[in-house]
């Protein structure tokens, strides 16, 4: 049995960030990971001139922690932000791609929203605050902005971020910044304007909210973290991990190459999905753990298409999202090669397509041949392709892709707090709380390291 001060379970972006900061502080720690590589759902690959992602494709520089992390790792991993000139996002309406408007004129002219809602939006700053903290996103948007804003702005945005359903997500937990705009300023528009005028210090100016990746793919980031946290501090391929209390400490046991590995530690930090916790933490009561493990995850299929020569519509944007109302079998397209460098051969294209999500989970049960038929039909139609002959075609399936922060989230967050108090030295992290995006994961990873070092 080895003795360590801190054990981290999971070497995804959260666990890797925690490990990076613990290592910087000279802590005595070790990371146990089920898979045989670091990165968790982040996995980039290169094949025949295409550099693609099997998990998340891009993040948003939305927290200071992610900006600082890239600065710290700049010798081993290069931040890549989306090309400035590519800033259009498309939304499908009645089978036609429309630009998502950004300015006032665009907002007036766009066919995405009804005239009634365009006029209605003028009254948004004067509408009273919502009083129900558990109001769904759909109800909040309908109340403040109108049905067409829900259908053709928020719904596709939610598909892009959560693969989710606005009728299920609760803004207090799923989109706290939006929720707080209404609670703090009484209005989305008024709040956004006031916030825009607030003076930002130099640090906050770095949080540009630009779309990011890393040169060579997002695995460059997770590999750099693995390296900086020192490879000898990691064990991969460790399965059936169980944590038990022992003499005021924690005994962490697992199986690696059919042998038992065991660690005695003062603190243990879990960064796995909620679904892994029941088996891992047998000393927690079934009632308590179920308040965490009942978290619902969207199922998603990601299809990567590579073309050596692109003959379809001009890929002059980030991509296109497809509102649920349009009743299509794909959630949207990301034109990765149009805003990041070296993703496809010159004159070629790399596209990522998402299928399934909360409202079309049944599509994720279809076999590969059927998925291929869907992708061919939709792509020929939506991308104006004369023929469907991709040079690369990959199907990646995620059963527990994106956690859905619904009405039960408050109870989940409280249970985590309660358990951490009840069992000193236990930290329950991961995307079951603290946000689902990569920038949130980095923020939490750093915070977990800080809490453990306290």
Task: Return the residue matching tokens 């939304």.
Answer: 91
Site for ligand FAD in 380-419 (CB under 6 A): 398, 401-402
Nearest approach in angstroms of CB 67 to ligand FAD is 14
Rounded Cα distance between 280 and 43, Å, is: 25
Minimum CB distance to ligand FAD smaller for 145 or for 159: 159
Q: Which is nearer to ligand FAD, 191 or 406 (CB)?
A: 406
Which of residues 209 and 246 has its CB atom nearest to ligand FAD in the complex? 209
Residues of span 266-285 touching ligand FAD by CB under 6 A: 271-273, 276, 280
Q: Does 7 bind ligand FAD (CB under 6 A)?
A: no
356 near ligand FAD (CB under 6 A): no
Considering the rule CB under 6 A, would residue 319 count as an interface residue with ligand FAD?
no
Q: Does 436 bind ligand FAD (CB under 6 A)?
A: yes
From residue 22 to residue 51, the character string flagging contacts with ligand FAD as x (rule: CB under 6 A) and all else as - is ----------xxxx----xxx---------
Residues 6+ apart with CB under 8 A from 23: 29, 228, 229, 230, 233
By CB atoms closer than 10 A (0-12, 13-18, 19+), residue 99 is middle
Q: How far is CA 417 from CA 429, 448, 452, in A?
A: 11, 13, 14
Q: Which is nearer to ligand FAD, 156 or 437 (CB)?
A: 437
CB of 411 to ligand FAD, least distance (A): 21
Tell me phi and psi for residue 152, to 5 degrees. Answer: -115, 5
DSSP character string of 361-413: GGGGGS-HHHHHHHHHHHHHHHTT-SS---SEEEEEEEEEEEE---TTHHHHH
> Which CA distances in Å does 1 have to 252, 260, 423?
10, 10, 22
Residue 213 lies near ligand FAD (rule: CB under 6 A): no
Determine, following the binding rule CB under 6 A, whether residue 10 of this chain makes contact with ligand FAD. Answer: yes
Q: Restricting to residues 239-268, which ones interact with ligand FAD according to CB under 6 A? A: 241
R_g (Cα) of the chain, nearest Å: 23
Binding site for ligand FAD (CB under 6 A): 9-15, 32-35, 40-42, 55-59, 241, 271-273, 276, 280, 300, 302, 398, 401-402, 430-431, 436-438, 441
């Amino acid at each position: 049995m080895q003795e360590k001060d801190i054990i981290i379970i999971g070497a995804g972006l959260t666990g890797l960030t925690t490990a990076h900061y613990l290592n910087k502080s000279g802590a005595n720690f070790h990371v146990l990971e089920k898979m045989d590589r670091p990165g968790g759902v982040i996995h980039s690959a290169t094949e025949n001139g295409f550099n693609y992602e099997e998990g998340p494709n891009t993040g948003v520089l939305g927290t200071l922690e992610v900006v600082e992390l890239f600065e710290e790792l700049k010798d081993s991993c290069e931040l890549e932000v989306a090309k400035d000139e590519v800033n259009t996002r498309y939304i499908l309406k009645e089978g036609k791609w429309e630009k998502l408007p950004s300015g006032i004129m665009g907002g007036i002219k766009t066919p995405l929203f009804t005239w009634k809602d365009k006029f209605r939006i003028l009254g948004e700053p004067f509408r009273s605050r919502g009083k129900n903290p558990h109001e769904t996103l759909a109800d909040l948007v309908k109340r403040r902005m109108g049905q067409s804003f829900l259908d053709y702005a928020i719904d596709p945005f939610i598909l892009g971020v959560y693969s989710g359903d606005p009728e299920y997500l609760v803004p207090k937990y799923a989109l706290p910044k939006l929720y707080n705009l209404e609670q703090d300023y009484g209005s989305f528009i008024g709040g956004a304007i006031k916030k825009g005028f607030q003076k930002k210090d130099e640090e906050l100016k770095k949080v540009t909210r630009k779309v990011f990746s890393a040169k060579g793919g997002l695995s460059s980031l997770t590999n750099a973290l693995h390296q900086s946290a020192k490879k000898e501090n990691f064990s991969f391929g460790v399965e059936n991990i169980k944590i038990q209390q022992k003499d005021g400490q924690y005994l962490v046991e697992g199986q690696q190459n059919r042998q038992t590995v065991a660690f005695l530690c003062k603190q243990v930090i879990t960064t796995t999905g909620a679904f892994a916790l029941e088996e891992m933490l047998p000393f927690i009561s079934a009632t308590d753990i179920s308040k965490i493990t009942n978290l619902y995850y969207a199922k998603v299929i990601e299809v990567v298409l590579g073309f050596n020569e692109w003959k379809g519509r001009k890929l002059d944007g980030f991509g296109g999202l497809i509102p649920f109302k349009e009743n299509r079998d794909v959630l949207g397209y990301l034109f990765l090669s149009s805003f990041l460098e070296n993703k496809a051969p010159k004159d070629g294209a790399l596209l990522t397509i998402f299928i399934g999500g909360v409202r079309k989970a049944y599509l994720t049960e279809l076999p590969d041949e059927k998925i291929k038929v869907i992708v061919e039909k939709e792509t020929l139609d939506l991308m104006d392709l004369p023929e469907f002959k991709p040079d690369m075609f990959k199907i990646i399936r995620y059963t527990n892709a994106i956690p859905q922060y619904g009405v039960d989230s408050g109870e989940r967050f409280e249970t985590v707090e309660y358990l951490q108090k009840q069992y000193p030295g236990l930290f329950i992290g991961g995307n079951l709380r603290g946000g689902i995006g990569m920038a949130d994961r980095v923020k939490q990873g750093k915070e977990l390291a800080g809490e453990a070092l306290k």
